[in-house]
Copies of this chain bind each other. A is one copy, B any other.
């Protein structure tokens, strides 16, 4: 049929969009206990790996812009789990740092991935395949962005 390409079941983006949202919902009970939303959680993941990071670099890692990050970081600052300071060497930049209480949160977060993983019915091998394919897509996305610049 001439409209077959428009069938929902033919779309690749649609299950990706739904899957992402549904899996994020699985995080909710565990993240509620930490008083974090999913986006706040991945910001903390990035920060736990690389402290003393600029908003810009955080955005590059998480594929988020300052329009999303600025208000979110202000909320996390209000929760006292991170600090925001102008970079003295380049005053355009703002440096994000986890506080002691932000670092302490890490010990409670460490259970989260396994608990959520248990909700996703893929074998290790399937998960790995999915992972590789998504990063293949992301690789092309990032390349395209840097080419435009």
From residue A9, how far is it (CB to closest CB) to chain B in Å? 9
Say whether A22 contacts B126, CB under 8 Å: no
Chain A facing B: main interface SS = helix
- Total copies of this chain within the assembly: 2
For chain A, which range describes its interface: under 10, 10 to 19, 20 to 34, or 35 or more residues? Answer: 35 or more
Q: Which residue of B lies closest to A131 (CB)?
A: B12
User: Hey, which bits of chain A sit against chain B, CB under 8 A?
Assistant: 2-3, 5-8, 10-24, 26-27, 38, 42, 45-46, 48-49, 61-63, 106, 109-110, 112-114, 116-117, 119-122, 126-127, 129-131, 133-141
- What are the 4 closest A-B residue pairs judged by CB atoms, nearest first? A15-B134, A20-B20, A121-B140, A5-B113
